[in-house]
Structure 1
Amino acid sequence: MHLTLLISSAGRRVGLIDCFRRSAAAAGISLDILACDMEPGLSAACNAADEAFAVPPYGDPSFVDAILDIVRDRGVDLVVPTIDPELTPLAAAIDRFEAMGARVHVSPSCVIDVARDKMRTAEVLAGAGVPVPWTVPFMAGSVLGQSGWPAFLKPSAGSASRGIRIVNGPGDLPEAIDEAMVLQQLLVGPEFTVNMFIDQGGVLRSAVAHRRLRVRAGEVEKGRTERDPMFRELAEGVARALPEARGVLCFQVIVDEETGPRVFEINARFGGGYPLAHHAGAEYARWLLEEVAALPSTAHDDWRSGVLMLRYDAAIFEG
């Protein structure tokens, strides 16, 4: 069995490429890994791939066409996006990829529209009984009641901790904004990422939680897997709230000192800390390849708790 995989917006995702290589070998699949980015010559993951391509930024009207050109020319079987903003255009083009015989690893637009909007995330999850922080749209000039301070101010469509800040009172609020923002309950307590794998039948097959011990630029740098029925219950709630979600997703939860666990963000893709779940035995990359190759699934929820990840900077040299 031979498959060709394309990692888009590959950036620094060398760890993700390594997970797919090991998974393919374990499943008996011959795998070619392609990668694309705006500047592939400056991407570590593109250098680690078998072949790399330059593509326009995700906001460019020609972005999806450029990905489709690679799929057609190289016989790509699976496209795996890695950043939130590219999910929307790729989800809108699912049918175009399927017409070429390729699966793009993205949930339908109805799921992405919720995950990419923090206000809708809070509303949809709360409607499914998932505990969430209070969240309100922020309009320049609006003032919360005194009981609402301090709070988080964050872009409604933000990711990787972009643009978030703590506001202690009305005097900290901006007079003007250039994108949709929300004010959200300031949560105080340990933070966790829960990685989920939902199979093609819509069944939640695995939920792996890790404590975010240290974070850099919104991505976990040091983490440890922890098994607690609470996290499985939260994952089941997220899956219930998003019944059309498929593949790999992750969500963030803080166990607040006063209100208990609160889910505040969903990433409908492989999270940056996925290699920790993979090393703990939850090989989502393998299970995804098995689906694409129509092989029997080895998906399970028997992963190891207490696995510690300590990331460090490495380098790729050329010339």
Structure 2
Amino acid sequence: MSTDPTMVIGSAGRRLYLIDWFREAFAGLGVRGRVVVTENDASSAAASYGDVARSLPRYADPAYGPALLELVDELRPSLFLSVNDYELMHLHVATDLAQQLRSRGVMVPGVDRAWQLGCADKLRMAQLLEEIGVPTPATVTGDDRAGIEALAAGVDEFVVKHRLGSASSGLALVTSGGVEAAVAAAVASAPSVDGEEPTGRDVVVQPRLPGLEHGVDIVGDLGEAGTLRAVLARRKVRMRAGETDKAITVDPAPFVANAERIARAAHLTGLVDVDMFLDGQGAPSVIDINPRFGGGYPFVHLAGADVPRFYLSRALGLEIDEQWREYAPGIVSAKHESVRVTAREG
């Protein structure tokens, strides 16, 4: 069995660039390392792209946990990360798998259990942010008529979306007269909080914020939970299917205060992807947090940042300078499509 330093990326899906950048980070550190990719779909774009490909059961399968631990005991990786929201919930909330991996000496980036739950629940997230003094839009559920009426007294434009959704699922931008219809439409496809038939409580309503939307990566130390190490920001220019498609890198200074509060409260290790609006006076408000590498990270990486290099240096106990968190503002990047053969029938 190879003794080369190893890391694992779970559910990489379409993010082949992330695999490439971790390979480059190994090389930049002068280490002959391996990037292992785990998937439950052997024909996904990323499944056969890693240095080692391993198939795991779906996260909800009872066989997933034992298979993951068996893989870790065999390959002995220094770092494990997933870019799938549901796998992360299973690792950090539904089970103690993340802690079991850490007890085996594996670094597993993430947030604590309360914030992992909050990242999946937009109502809970708003409450957590309010508790630590981070500005966020007032948030009520779609069945809270009094709450919606109170919001309508101050604004006329609203955001309606799924409470447990991701990638802008259920999203509608409406005026006050269209809120009821938008809630009804969102309920029809909403994931349910309690597993029952979805209702208005499975949809959230918020005032539409003024200003420009930004994506911000908050990076915490992997060894000292809650210690902020970097803030990386870009202004969103264009979205596609709920993910940033084009962006321009910007100065992170306006977002640092919020980043410090979130990192400390969430006991953050590693990177979280945060959506913030910046109003005309330069005041930021948080609207969403994804506890993983998000679709916006490539824009700061291409401008000079190198979070994979930081991750591997901490996982392998290597010293690096602070250049990994430096990037140039004003760099415009856009995503493009590609395709690769992943399997042959039969």
TM-score normalised by L of structure 2:
0.83
Distance 2:304 2:283 in 1: 28
One-letter amino acid of the structure 2 residue matched with residue 212 of structure 1: K
Distance 1:184 1:58 in 2: 32
The RMSD of aligned alpha carbons is: 2.4
Is it true that 1:220 corresponds to 2:244 in the alignment?
A: yes
One-letter amino acid of the structure 2 residue matched with residue 27 of structure 1: L
| Aligned partners of 1:115 and 1:265 also within 8 Å | yes
Report the more deviating stretch, 232-241 or 305-314: 232-241
Instruction: Determine helix, strand or coil for the equivalent of 2:140.
Output: strand
Offset of 1:238 from its aligned partner? 2.1
Distance 2:130 2:265 in 1: 9
Offset of 1:142 from its aligned partner? 6.8
Is it true that 1:59 corresponds to 2:60 in the alignment?
A: yes
One-letter amino acid of the structure 1 residue matched with residue 13 of structure 2: G
TM-aligned CA distance change 1:277 to 1:96, over 3 Å: same
Distance 2:55 2:124 in 1: 34
Is it true that 1:189 corresponds to 2:207 in the alignment?
A: no
| Aligned partners of 1:128 and 1:240 also within 8 Å | no
Q: 2:22 aligns with which of 8, 17, 20?
A: 20
| Aligned partners of 1:250 and 1:270 also within 8 Å | yes
Is it true that 1:174 corresponds to 2:196 in the alignment?
A: no
Report the more deviating stretch, 73-82 or 140-149: 140-149
Q: 1:209 aligns with which of 220, 233, 237?
A: 233
Distance 1:167 1:59 in 2: 36
| Aligned partners of 2:140 and 2:148 also within 8 Å | no
Offset of 1:47 from its aligned partner? 2.5
One-letter amino acid of the structure 2 residue matched with residue 247 of structure 1: G
Structure 1 partner of 2:162? 155
TM-aligned CA distance change 1:65 to 1:230, over 3 Å: same
| Aligned partners of 2:56 and 2:67 also within 8 Å | yes
Structure 2 partner of 1:10? 12
Instruction: Determine helix, strand or coil for the equivalent of 2:285.
Output: strand
Offset of 1:95 from its aligned partner? 2.3
Offset of 1:100 from its aligned partner? 2.9
One-letter amino acid of the structure 2 residue matched with residue 18 of structure 1: D
1:79-108: CA deviation from partner (whole Å, max 9, x where unpaired): 110022221221232221123332223333
Offset of 1:256 from its aligned partner? 4.2
Number of positions where the alignment pairs a residue of Structure 1 with one of Structure 2 = 317
Instruction: Determine helix, strand or coil for the equivalent of 1:22.
Output: helix
Offset of 1:260 from its aligned partner? 4.7
Structure 1 partner of 2:132? 128
Instruction: Determine helix, strand or coil for the equivalent of 1:5.
Output: strand
Distance 1:275 1:239 in 2: 21
1:29-63: CA deviation from partner (whole Å, max 9, x where unpaired): 2211111222122x222232112222233333333
Structure 2 partner of 1:44? 45
Q: Structure 2: state its 5+ residue gaps.
A: 193-201
| Aligned partners of 2:227 and 2:264 also within 8 Å | no
TM-aligned CA distance change 1:45 to 1:186, over 3 Å: same
TM-score normalised by L of structure 1:
0.90
One-letter amino acid of the structure 2 residue matched with residue 156 of structure 1: R
One-letter amino acid of the structure 2 residue matched with residue 229 of structure 1: A
Q: Structure 1: state its 5+ residue gaps.
A: none
Is it true that 1:118 corresponds to 2:125 in the alignment?
A: no
Is it true that 1:254 corresponds to 2:256 in the alignment?
A: no
Instruction: Determine helix, strand or coil for the equivalent of 2:336.
Output: coil
1:103-161: CA deviation from partner (whole Å, max 9, x where unpaired): 22333323312222211211221222211111113328777214254322222222111
4+ residue runs of structure 1 moved beyond 4 angstroms? Answer: 140-143, 175-178, 256-260
